Amino acid sequence: MTVCALSVLAVVALILYELVRQSQLSLHSFGWKFFTAQVWDPVAGQFGALPFMYGTLISSLLALVISVPLALGLAVYITEMCNIRLRGLLAFTTDLLAAIPSVIYGLWAIFVLVPLLRRYVEPWLAMTLGWTGLFSGPPYGIGMLAAGVILSVMVLPIISSITREVLVAVPRHQREAALALGATRWEMIRMGVLRNARAGIVGAVILGLGRALGETMAVTMVIGNRPEIAKSLLAPGYTMASVIANEFSEATGDLYLSALVEIGLALLLLTLVVNALARLLVWSVTRGVPVSSHVQ
Amino acid sequence: MSSNARRKALAWKRVVADRAATLAAWLAALLVITPLIAIFAYLVIRGASAVNWAFLTHAPKPVGEAGGGIGNAILGSALILAISSLLGVPLGIGAGVYLAEYGHGRLATLVRFTADVLNGVPSIVMGIAVYALVVLRQKHFSALAGGVALGIMMIPTIARATEEMLLMVPRAIREAALGLGVAEWRTVVSVSLRTALPGVITGVMLAFARVAGETAPLLFTAFGNQFWNLNLNQPTAALPLQIYTYAISPYDEWHQQAWAGALVLIALVVGTVCLVRLIAGRGVMKGTA
């Protein structure tokens, strides 16, 4: 048993070791400039990771903007408002959403979501909000917006199920006290439940961010894969995960390969920090609640 | 009089806020279900017509030729998942047992933290790590490398599920076994693990369902293959990889195949998840209240 437990440590150590070793070449050639340079031109030997970091960050934030209100609404509805039978059904549905493979989300996004965005949503956005500069340019369908929307569907189940866990952990008497003082149901939820669960909800959102940052296939299939930084959300972009997915097996030359591994290493460290932060926040709320109430 | 009116207005405002919040939450729930229904509907509408016996048993045909299927991809996925289960299940359960039965010291905290770290490693990063670990050493892509990548990804899920389930086994049962003079390892295997078995199986199947649909870690490990292959040391097709290849291709008949393949994959994954619910729903832990 101890051997099995130690193997977990060994595997993580090996992964880190290999990533650091394979990215040495790029680390030494570019140093910190790797993360501030904007040009990615493998043919000319220029490798700058900024466009990918920008794409990863913006697509993930966009996903959070869309999914957080929905996930919170769903979690509140499931834990505080609906009857028991509907509760089970809704919880099962969100579990199913979490179980759909990434590549199937991508497939659906290419053939259903993207045409929908191109034909209806993007022209409308360009017309009404074009002046902000966020929605200018031709409506390709494929681009940062499509990636953000499909990501939002993918991170929603995670955020909502952990929020549910956190809400359930809020002691019953908080709710009863609020109701006894004559609060309406919404006032009870707002003051008695949500306020107590704040830290945990933030943790759930950050955990969703961690998932969005590392998501590969669905994003690769709809983001457009162009290493440029554009202000418009309708323009194509590129993320750290998708540049690895697209170019790793075709990378010629040691430096090219090494640069891609370094992007992978940076992505790993980024998700590590984000996940650790999220765990701390979730623990601060659910700590002291028996394990059985987490598994529902 | 005026204070009375103000009170009434305030009460009215509170009721409206309550109703509005209820409506908003209800709408959110509805909006979340929409994409799920849409995805399943499209999978069935676009995919079902192409799924037949030949599709499930034949290898892909070149572009332009009619027919062809995903038989080799199903076989490849089965091979890769068998390897990953052989690696991930024993290690995961072992680590879980260690955490639940012996895990109190600093080492256990470290292992628990590392399992969480491993759980958070982006799947594409797992792909390059295993590429460096296995593919570079072997000098070629293989089903083995794909299996290793997926197997590693199974470990943390199984370990944490096993730990949680073992912790739910009542102390009294364990003490009874030890009191009868049963050896400690025997108590763990035949009493604790036996009691927690349905829960452990649930964890294993969830981990399985999760990696069965993974594409990113297979891109540079199993790599994919258009032909039948049973050699574990050769590039091997996998269902998610095949769907990806078909989906981003420019050919209509390949798109059709992507939808059909996706329907088969989702049937596998959702079938597993439903089975899990069935096992979990039928009195998970006999003997625990």
> Tell me, what amino acid is at B218?
L
Indicate whether A21 belongs to any domain. Answer: no
Average pLDDT over residues B250-267: 93
**A186 to chain B: closest CA residue:** B18
For residues A130 and A251, give the distance between their C-alpha atoms in angstroms, rounded to a whole number: 38
Residue type, B234: Q
Backbone angles phi, psi at B52, to 5 degrees: -150, 180
State whether B108 and A5 contact (CB < 8 Å). Answer: yes
From residue A271, give the alpha-carbon distance in Å to each of A211, B45, B105, B225, B270.
8, 37, 27, 32, 28
Query: pLDDT (tens digit, 9 = 90+) per residue, B86-115?
Result: 999 999 999 999 999 887 888 888 998 899
Whether the Cβ atoms of residue A262 and residue A40 lie closer than 8 Å to each other = no
Put simply, the answer to whether B213 touches A100 (Cβ < 8 Å) is yes
A39–chain B nearest CA distance, Å: 23
Segment (H or E) for B86: helix B71-97
Judged by CB atoms closer than 8 Å, whether chains meet at B114 and A9 is answered as: yes
What residues of A are in contact with residue B121 (Cβ under 8 Å)? 15, 214, 268, 271
Both structure tokens of B281: 């729903």
Q: Nearest residue of B to residue A243 by CA position?
A: B124
What's the helix, strand, coil split of chain A in %, to 5?
A: 80, 0, 20
Neighbour-count burial of A3, counting CB atoms closer than 10 A to its CB (0-12 exposed, 13-18 middle, 19+ buried): exposed
The two tokens of residue A90 are: 């809704």
- Please state the ipTM of this predicted complex: 0.90
- Give the Cα separation of B168 and B273 in Å (integer): 22
Question: Are B236 and B146 in contact, with CB atoms under 8 Å apart?
Answer: yes
Residue A38 lies in a domain: no
Beta bridge partners of A47: A40
Residue B263: pLDDT above 50? yes
3-state secondary structure of A274: helix
Q: Residue A262: which CATH number? A: 1.10.3720.10
Chain B residues in contact with A99 by the CB 8 A cut-off are 209-210, 213, 269-270, 273
Residue of B nearest to A155 (CA): B32
Mean pLDDT across B229-249: 93
Contact B277 A92 (CB under 8 A): yes
Q: Residues for chain A: how many in total?
A: 296
CA distance linking residue A107 with residue B258, whole number of Å: 8
Length in residues, chain B: 289
Q: Among candidates A128, A142, A263, which has minimal Cα distance to B127?
A: A263
Which pLDDT does position B241 carry in this prediction? 95
Rounded-to-integer distance, Cα A151 and Cα A202, Å: 18
Q: What is the pLDDT of residue B61?
A: 86
Rg (CA), chain A: 22
Task: Give every CB contact of residue A95 below 8 A, 6+ residues apart in sequence.
Answer: A157, A161, B273
Q: Quickly state the pLDDT bin for B43 (edges 50, 70, 90).
A: very high
Q: What is the pLDDT of residue B282?
A: 61
Average predicted confidence (pLDDT) for chain B? 89
Q: Which residues of chain B make contact with A8, given a CB cutoff of 8 A? A: 91, 95, 111, 114-115, 118, 155-156, 159
**Total number of domains in chain A:** 1
Q: Is the dihedral of CA B261, B266, B272, B275 positive or negative?
A: negative
pLDDT band per the 50, 70, 90 thresholds, residue B68: confident
Residue A36 lies in a domain: no
Give the confidence band of B276 by pLDDT, cuts at 50, 70, 90.
confident
CB contact under 8 A, B97 and A153: no
Within-domain flag for A82: yes
Quick check: helix, strand or coil at residue B47? helix
DSSP state of A166: H
pTM to 2 decimal places: 0.91
Residue B197, number of CB atoms within 10 A of its CB: 15
**Residue of B263, B242, B249, B252 whose CA lies nearest to B69:** B242
Indicate the residue of A78, A97, A184 with minimum beta-carbon distance to B18.
Answer: A184
Sign, CA dihedral A142-B249-B77-A4, equals negative
pLDDT in tens, B136-162: 999 999 999 999 999 999 999 999 999
Identity of the residue in A5, A7, A267 whose CB atom sits nearest the CB atom of B122: A267
pLDDT at B1: 52
The tokens describing B215, both together, are 């594409």
Residue B1, both tokens: 């009089």
Please check whether residue B76 touches A, CB under 8 A: no
Domain annotation covers residue A119: yes
Question: How close is the nearest chain B Cα to the Cα of A284, in Å?
Answer: 16
The alpha helices in B121-236, defined as continuous H runs, are 123-130, 136-138, 143-167, 171-179, 184-186, 194-212
Q: Domain B55-281 adopts which CATH fold?
A: MetI-like fold (1.10.3720)
Most B CBs within 10 A among A217, A258, A280, hence the mutation to make, goes to: A217
Range of the domain at A274: 52-293
Low-confidence ranges of chain A (pLDDT < 70): 287-296
Sign of CA dihedral A80, A81, A85, A91: negative
User: Tokens in use for A152?
Assistant: 């939002």
pLDDT value, residue A292: 39
Q: Is A268 a domain residue?
A: yes
The reported pLDDT for the residue numbered A52 is 96
Residue B251 has pLDDT above 80, yes or no: yes
CB-based contact B29 A74, cutoff 8 Å: yes
Residue B73 confidence (pLDDT): 94
A-chain CB neighbours of B152 within 8 Å are 11
Taking the C-alpha atoms of residue A71 and residue A205, their distance in angstroms, rounded to an integer, is: 9
Domain ranges of chain B: 2-50, 55-281
pLDDT over 60 at B289, yes or no: no
Q: Which of B268, B243, B215 is nearest to A108 (CA)?
A: B243
